[in-house]
Structure 1
Amino acid sequence: MRFSVPRSLSPSPVRRQQRRSQSTFGLLTDSEESDISEPDDPDSDAFCYASESEVPQPQVTPRAKTKKTAEQQHIEDTVAAIRLRTRHHDPYEEWEKQTRKDSFRVARKQQKAMQLKINDELDQARTQEARRLAALHARQMEEVQAQLNSLKLKQQTEEEKLRKGWQERDKLLWQRIDSVIQLEEDKVRARLEAERKVRELEERKRQEEEMRKRELEEKQRKEEEDKRKAVEDAQRRRREEETKEAEAEKKRIQDEKERTDRLAAEADQRKAAGLTIAVEDWQNARRILSTLKTETMRPIKSDKPRKSAWGEQRRKITPKIGQLTNDPRAIRDITDFIHDKIIMPPQRHPPMLYTGLLSSLAKNILLQAETEVTAEKKAAIPLAQVAFSLLDRLETFPDIFFAKLVERCGGWPLPCAVPPTDVDDKPWPNEAVRNKAMGYRRSVQQGDALEPIVEYMTRIAGDMRLYFHILKIPPHTRPMHPMFQLPRCWMWFARIMGDHALLESPVAAQLIYTALDVLGSHALEVWGHQWLKMLELVYRGTTVGFAEGRLIGGTSAVGTSARTRVQMEVERIMTSAR
């Protein structure tokens, strides 16, 4: 153990001999050590003056020496012992210190070797565990892959079985269709051939008669030939035009008669199958509209309490339909509110008021389609979901809704041309009533005249887009009304592609594009190869034409643009089917 003491102060320049202490354990005191220090030692604390004049005079001290106390003596002894101890060299302590250092060095070396061994063992353990986990993972992956392969093989087997079944069914169906088509084509070909022969015979007779008359006229008017040549040319051209018009009218009447005869011949078969023709559907819708007007709305509006109750509930429908967004929760809430709070409240409405509210509800939905869907196509989706739910839940609403659709769109939802007589077989009172039955509206901007064709097409397309979206929604629990089932899409295309007069209208091209945009790809998934044939027929009508080269949509600029959209939509569907 070592001790350290602070360095003593430098001695005074006045050096005088002091009497040694009685007991210093053989060591000198501080003053004695200072006196015997070497003056030339650079490390000593000796003090030197520059000249003798700077040396102060020695102080006079009393001769009598003060006797040291016991405490001072003890302190001096302790200091002397410490000095002796600090200057003493102990070999044992040096050996002990060196031994401790060697022991620490050996211990550190052993500890390092042991730590390295432990780290190596941990690395080996981790490596073995990683290998075990990798082997386990590989085994599990093999098991999962084997299970997936078995499921995939099973799925492929089932798909192949279903595919073969559908192919056989399609083959049989098309064999029957082709046989019926061939039979009808043979009948039509034979009838056309007979008509052609009759027309040729009549044409020869007419030409012979005309030639005879011309020869007679030429003999009689030989002198006036130069003066009347221009008049005769004009008369001849007029006669030719009248002849063409008469032939066209005759052909149209003949085609209409053939179509009527064919439909009459097939009436029993349609009745047995539960099918109807477009004119029958139109007449049924017109009867429902007439009943609504005479037996429901007219009594309601003529009775003040009924009209007040009807107006109060009707005003609740419009804001709800206008607030509709493409949010499932909002759609459900609005549908439930209309059903539970307006149409079917806890305290039921009278039957007349109930029917009047259904008519107002259908009108509001169609008006919303005409305003919103024409601006944004996606707006038809939530509106169709609300309409579909209400059609499924409200009794008699499907008939009223379809009747209002026919009222807004004319014969296009069926599709069919509006006949020259109403359902009572009476001619239309005037052209304005017939135009209204065809779906035309008066335009305030045009001085109360009929709306332009572009505005008419856009409005009808908005209502029909809503109708096609309703057809696209699958039924929930029970089949929907026949007018709102997906097969109506196929029937709509079959009817419009078989009516050449409708196909020449630009509205037909616009509605065909709307139907393909909504149901084209979905119909391909449902009907497959059959739908491809329908698309091929539509595409041929937009490129090659039908009935002596006439194209779908006619030759107007509006029809041409709509026909181009139809062509591009068919190409898109065919591309996605590959």
Structure 2
Amino acid sequence: MRFSVSRSPSPVQRSIRRPTNTYSIHNATDSESEDSSAESEPDAPVLTFSSLSRALTRSNPEQTVDTFLAAVRLRARPDPVEEYREAERALLKTSEPTSALHLAAQTQLLQDAHAAVLAQRNSEEMETVIKSLAQLDMQRAGRSEAEARRVKEGVKGMWDGIEGAIKRDEELRRRAEEERRRVEEEKRRQEDEQRRKEQERAKAEADKKQKEQEEERAKRAAQEAQAQAEKEAAAKAEADRLRKVDEEKEKAAKAKAEEVKVARSTASGLAAQEWENAWTERATLKSVARAVEENSEMKSIAGRLRRKLRTRVGQVTNSRQELEKLADAIHEILSPTPPHPSAVYTALLSAFCKYLLLQAETEATAKLSIAYPLGRLVWMIISRGHDRLAHVFFARLVGRTGGWACGWALARKPGVSDTEWRKMIGLELEGKNDPDDKPPTLETAVQYTDRLVGQIALYASVLQSPLPTSLPFAATPNPLTAGSPQAILNSRELLAQSSAPPVLSVILEVAGDRLNEVYGGQFKKLMGAVAEAVKAGVGGENETPARVRLQLLVERWAQEGTFGLPGRELV
């Protein structure tokens, strides 16, 4: 019998085999009917072991097994066509016995040979199918193992990730806990430190307050114990001091008169005499200041009024109206009703001059025009009856500038101490009130020159300011009208100092235009002397910039006839 199966999902195309009988022998008599049936019907694929093996190897494992089982079931069913052909062959045998026997014998031989070949081929194909099935089973087992392994690895990776996340979370919590503990510990430490400092500060304040209370009680007790004695001795002591001051003044005046007679023969002698007079006046001011400090009542009055004077000096402007008001206010401080004791009055004049010089040091150094209203204020106070202010001002000026205000180069005499010499030339100590208790040091040459320039600017402003119409001067010459910048040019020692170019420059800028108006031709000679001093190297080799500035001033005046510093006229 001949069986055929339906086309599989992956059919195997083979060449068309001719139909055979039950014994796989081609039937010659059936050729025509087969040809006719082949022409009328489409060729159906024939299922063989080779095609089955190829189909099994090319298909999916599950689909291949299903196809194989379907083919076996189809081969077990009878084929109507094959039954018809069997009946036809039986009829032929009946009609031709001899040829049928011969044909049957040949058919049997061919069938046996074909069966042997077919058996061998089927055996080989069966082995191939079995191997393919075994390979499919192995592949399926391998895929199952690989899938199981992937699942196992995935599960393991998932658990590893979970465990890693748990570990990371635990590490983060551990670090957060450590950071929280560290912050709490630091906060606790800072609170302890702050609490300790507050306790120490409170203790220090309590100790300080207790100490101050004890000192105050002791001071009050001492004051109460000595109050009566001081009151009784105050009048007598003050009278003795004033008498001594008057005696010293009288002696100084006599000595000064004698020295003036000897020294006026030369310009240097005059300058030296001016310095000696100013230095003597300075000593008198020092003694008066000590007397005021030793008297508690006068000290209190002087201290309170000094503060007012300092405030008034800081209010100076270049307005005539404001200067007049300021001069009236200062006059009220200096000469109230009833008037101050002589010592207090002198101490206030000295303090007023000191504040003027300090104001010039700080402001006129930066802006020279500030010196003009300060100089006018000096004359306004003098014109209100304070003629002693001229001598006090010049004494304070000499005490802070050395011999520059007089045009005299001081020479150190044997036996003069370093401290006394420093005070004579006007050098100051830096760091006298240092909070770290460091030893004070002498100011540098640059600091000395800067301070000197501001004070000389104020002095030049006083010299160039127009004098009031009525001055209360007596026969004694006024030092603010007797001085002259010519004295500086007459001193080779002063011209050799490093401060000479800046000092000459500030005198010319502040007072040059006024001196030119008053002296005319004499001032031209003075400018010629300044030009010669510049050529000769005034100030030494180290003062080239200051000397160049002085030279530019001389050249500007020669070209324009003025120095052009603003602020000379009041608003």
* TM-score (ref. length: structure 2): 0.49
The structure with the larger Rg is: 2
Relative contact order, higher structure (CA 8 A, sep 6+): 2
* TM-score (ref. length: structure 1): 0.48
